[in-house]
């Protein structure tokens, strides 16, 4: 549009080749959206061109990217240069682009969330509770909000059960002995073996039959972290716990 505005020759029609369909669609949307200020600048340029050439026929046409059109290829090269900070001479740019462009609200929010997640991870790893976490391989494997979102459709009982399995603070002898609620930390079915969440879910021979259903329809054995962070495994884990009845005195029988 800037070239049309500054062009001095005579012509009655012009076609704009744009390789971004979304950019073309934005010209018909009045509701503010990310990058809409750029659309307004283009509209201002169009109005300037219309004043100078009132009879000009202007057509916006979608041009597939990398279609070997010389102008399109040259535009891609210049766009990549600009992304690396190698901007053109400001005198050759439209007035709207000679100053720093406004920040994108969506991009700022995304960057903020990314920094917040990083800081939260650093604070959590520095916390004394980090080393006390029974499930070592669950440490910050995925953001906590991911777990909450994945369990929104579960019952409160199912949610609490998964939380306790993930933390290791659950009614198995390994934890109960640590808090003074059991005489031994050993598994009731395996002498000399501490009953941890890992032992309960993956090792104890007492629940081998129930474990076959837990590992069914998977190509390879799943780790504890996969079982307790992958939403696709949550239902199988809950069914396994219900089938073993090991924690029924605490959580009751499943529906």
Q: Note the pLDDT of residue 125.
A: 74
**3-state class (DSSP) for residue 23:** helix
Q: Residue with structure tokens 């406004």?
A: 102
How far apart are the C-alpha atoms of 163 and 148, rounded to whole Å?
Answer: 10
pLDDT in tens, 7-23: 777 778 888 877 777 77
Structural domain spans, the chain: 2-102, 104-132, 137-250
Buried b (16+ CB within 10 A) or exposed e, 219-239: eeebebbebbbbeebbebbbe
How far apart are the C-alpha atoms of 168 and 176, rounded to whole Å?
Answer: 10
Q: DSSP letters of 89-153?
A: PGGGS-GGGSSPPPPPHHHHHHHHHHHHHHHHHHHHHHSHHHHH-S-GGGTTSS-HHHHHHHTTT
pLDDT in tens, 179-215: 999 999 999 999 999 999 999 999 999 999 999 888 8
Query: pLDDT 10s per residue in the chain (255 long)?
Result: 777 777 777 778 888 877 777 777 766 666 666 666 777 777 888 888 888 888 888 887 777 765 677 777 787 788 788 778 777 777 777 776 777 767 777 888 989 988 988 888 788 777 776 666 545 545 555 566 777 888 899 999 999 999 899 888 999 999 999 999 999 999 999 999 999 999 999 999 999 999 988 887 666 778 888 888 888 899 999 999 999 999 987 776 655
pLDDT in tens, 210-236: 998 888 766 677 888 888 888 889 999
Choose among 199, 126, 208: nearest CA to 168.
Answer: 199
Q: Note the pLDDT of residue 237.
A: 94
Pairing of strands 186-187, 190-194: antiparallel
Neighbours of 179 (CB within 10 A): 8
The answer to whether the CB of 139 falls within 8 A of the CB of 130 is: yes
Which tokens sit at 103? 């920040």
Q: Residue with structure tokens 């012509």?
A: 11
DSSP code, position 203: I
**Start-to-end CA span in the chain (Å):** 65
């Amino acid at each position: 549009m800037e070239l049309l505005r500054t062009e001095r020759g005579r012509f009655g029609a012009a076609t704009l080749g744009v390789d971004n369909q979304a950019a073309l669609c934005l010209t018909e949307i009045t509701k503010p959206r990310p990058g809409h200020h750029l659309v307004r600048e283009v509209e201002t340029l169009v109005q300037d061109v219309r004043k100078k050439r009132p009879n000009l026929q202007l057509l916006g046409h979608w041009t597939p990217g990398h279609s070997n059109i010389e102008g399109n290829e040259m535009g891609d090269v210049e766009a990549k240069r600009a992304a690396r900070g190698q901007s053109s001479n400001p005198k050759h740019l439209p007035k709207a682009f000679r100053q720093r462009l406004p920040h994108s609200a969506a991009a700022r929010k995304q960057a903020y969330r990314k920094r917040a997640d990083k800081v939260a991870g650093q604070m959590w790893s520095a916390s004394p509770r980090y080393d006390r976490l029974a499930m070592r391989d669950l440490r910050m494997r995925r953001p906590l909000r991911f777990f909450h979102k994945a369990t929104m459709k579960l019952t409160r009982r199912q949610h609490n059960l998964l939380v306790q399995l993930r933390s290791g603070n659950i009614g198995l002898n390994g934890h109960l002995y640590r808090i003074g609620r059991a005489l031994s930390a050993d598994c009731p079915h395996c002498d000399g073996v501490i009953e941890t969440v890992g032992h309960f879910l993956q090792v104890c021979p007492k629940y081998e039959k129930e474990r076959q259903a837990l590992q069914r329809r998977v190509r390879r054995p799943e780790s504890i972290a996969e079982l307790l962070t992958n939403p696709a495994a949550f239902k199988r884990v809950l069914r396994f716990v219900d089938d073993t009845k090991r924690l029924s005195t605490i959580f009751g029988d499943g529906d």
